[in-house]
């Protein structure tokens, strides 16, 4: 049927799938998004909402830079709440400050500003700071509202959404779904960790597994800027690749092995309603058990209360799940005209729009080398 013929079919309404739909729609293409859920409930709404564009290196930095441009544009068009206050890395020990000082030496002027402990504590309500780094390019959105707002805007612009519709498979020119086939010149499959449902061999080849997270929502404390800590310095490449990071890792392993047992990234953002997102832990496997240990939440809450010097009242607890693999990104072409795309580390909000834009560009106007991120 003519009504079922599209230039691009997208499987998945998470941030990467929405990014693909956005890129194609802006190029004047006819787009359909197929989503098995009734709403957006996956990793794209279960995160911090931080767009950490200054925390990465290599291809991730390229995708993050492009994502920042796209976030600035779509936020205005879709009415997405977006805060441009940057992000604050808080050092509470000399070895953490050493990481920040070394990382600052490799940055372009104006990208980041080193702060004293007093300046940090004047900016955010933390205790025990010995210094910090304000990374000015970082953005923040409300994770619970950003992706749904983009979907609404895309729908208003003519992108067709088919909710509660499962994808069953692809072949050149056709996406098979539970509601019948869809003819499309190109197909982007962006289903995060569930790539093994449609392409199990591809998932095994790229060692894709699931990463489960424990997170909390608490009463706010007046945090005007996202806060990252020493554990964050060991996770993000722009910081983790410094020489000083090795000493920090050794000290934390000795003093706080529980941080590594639960693979904690201790960071915080506040939503526009003033509630505080606290997180997060990480566990990996082919499947993530739905049972969340209270010890993980106690650890997260205890570290937060120590940093902020006050008791926090918990409002909600939840589990996030995203794709994890040795490489940061999965971009594969199982058949002609089809791309399977996933951010295979926890930086989907930061890089997803830029990655999707690159993939759609390559599908529409392939580069001679056929190279992908």
- Total domain count, the chain: 2
Q: What is the pLDDT of residue 54?
A: 79
Residue 35 within any structural domain of the chain? yes
Query: E strand or H helix at 86, and its extent?
Result: none
Q: Do residues 305 and 265 both lie within one domain?
A: yes
Q: What is the pLDDT of residue 356?
A: 98
Q: Do residues 32 and 152 both lie within one domain?
A: yes
Residue 123 within any structural domain of the chain? yes
Q: Do residues 277 and 356 both lie within one domain?
A: no
Q: Do residues 299 and 178 both lie within one domain?
A: no
Residue 372 within any structural domain of the chain? no
Residue 75 within any structural domain of the chain? no
Residue 81 within any structural domain of the chain? no
Mean pLDDT by 10 residues, the chain (373 residues): 79 98 97 97 95 86 95 96 95 97 80 94 97 95 97 98 97 96 97 96 96 97 96 91 96 97 97 96 95 96 97 97 96 96 95 97 69 42
Judge residue 242's burial from the number of C-beta atoms within 10 Å of its C-beta, 0-12 exposed, 13-18 middle, 19 or more buried: buried
Kindly report the number of other CB atoms within 10 A of residue 83's CB atom: 20
Alpha carbon of 307 to those of 99, 161, 209, 261: distances in Å? Answer: 19, 43, 32, 20
Residues 6+ apart with CB under 8 A from 209: 193, 284, 285, 286, 323, 324, 325
Q: Do residues 239 and 128 both lie within one domain?
A: yes
Q: Do residues 149 and 276 both lie within one domain?
A: no
Q: Do residues 162 and 240 both lie within one domain?
A: no
Q: Do residues 226 and 286 both lie within one domain?
A: yes
pTM: 0.93
Q: Do residues 269 and 336 both lie within one domain?
A: no
State the CATH number of the domain containing residue 214: 3.30.9.10
Residue 78 within any structural domain of the chain? no
Q: Do residues 166 and 42 both lie within one domain?
A: yes
- Give the HSE-up count for residue 72: Cα atoms under 13 Å, Cβ half-sphere: 11
Q: Please give the residue range of the domain that contains residue 163.
A: 2-64+144-207+326-364
Residue 183 within any structural domain of the chain? yes
Q: Do residues 252 and 297 both lie within one domain?
A: yes
Residue 172 within any structural domain of the chain? yes
Q: Are 373 and 355 in contact (CB under 8 A)?
A: yes
Judge residue 174's burial from the number of C-beta atoms within 10 Å of its C-beta, 0-12 exposed, 13-18 middle, 19 or more buried: middle
Q: Do residues 110 and 151 both lie within one domain?
A: no
Name the DSSP letter for residue 174. Answer: E
Q: What is the pLDDT of residue 209?
A: 96
Q: What is the pLDDT of residue 264?
A: 97
State the CATH number of the domain containing residue 358: 3.50.50.60
Tokens of 82: 């977006």
Q: What is the pLDDT of residue 55?
A: 79
């Amino acid at each position: 049927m003519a009504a079922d013929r599209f230039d691009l079919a997208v499987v998945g309404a998470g941030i990467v799938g929405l990014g693909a739909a956005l890129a194609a729609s802006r190029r004047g293409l006819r787009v359909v998004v197929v989503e098995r859920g009734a709403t957006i409930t996956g990793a794209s709404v279960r995160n911090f909402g931080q767009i950490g564009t200054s925390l990465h290196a290599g291809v991730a930095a390229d995708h993050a830079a492009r994502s920042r441009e796209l976030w600035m544009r779509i936020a205005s068009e879709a009415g997405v709440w977006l805060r441009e206050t940057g992000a604050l890395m808080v050092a509470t020990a000399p070895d953490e400050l050493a990481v920040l000082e070394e990382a600052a030496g490799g940055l372009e002027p104006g990208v980041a500003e080193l702060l004293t402990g007093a300046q940090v504590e004047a900016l955010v309500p933390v205790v025990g700071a010995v210094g910090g780094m304000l990374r000015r390019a970082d953005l923040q959105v409300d994770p619970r509202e950003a992706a749904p707002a983009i979907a609404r805007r895309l729908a208003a612009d003519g992108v067709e959404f088919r909710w509660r519709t499962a994808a069953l498979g692809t072949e050149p020119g056709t996406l098979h779904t539970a509601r019948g086939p869809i003819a499309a010149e190109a197909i982007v499959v962006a289903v995060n960790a569930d790539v093994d449902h449609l392409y199990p061999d591809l998932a095994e080849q790229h060692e894709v597994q699931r990463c489960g997270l424990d997170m909390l929502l608490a009463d706010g404390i007046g945090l005007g800027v996202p806060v990252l800590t020493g554990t964050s310095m060991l996770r993000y490449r722009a910081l983790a690749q410094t020489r000083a990071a090795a000493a920090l890792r050794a000290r934390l392993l000795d003093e706080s092995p529980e941080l590594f047992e639960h693979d904690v990234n201790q960071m915080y953002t506040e939503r526009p309603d003033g509630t505080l997102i606290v997180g997060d832990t990480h566990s990996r496997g082919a499947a993530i058990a739905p049972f969340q240990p209270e010890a993980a939440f106690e650890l997260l809450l205890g570290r937060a209360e120590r940093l902020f010097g006050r008791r926090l009242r918990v409002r909600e607890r939840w589990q996030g799940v995203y794709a994890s693999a040795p490489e940061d990104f999965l971009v594969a072409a199982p058949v002609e005209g089809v791309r399977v795309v996933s951010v295979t580390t926890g930086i989907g909000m930061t890089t997803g729009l830029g990655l999707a834009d690159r993939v759609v560009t390559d599908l529409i106007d392939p580069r001679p080398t056929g190279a992908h991120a």
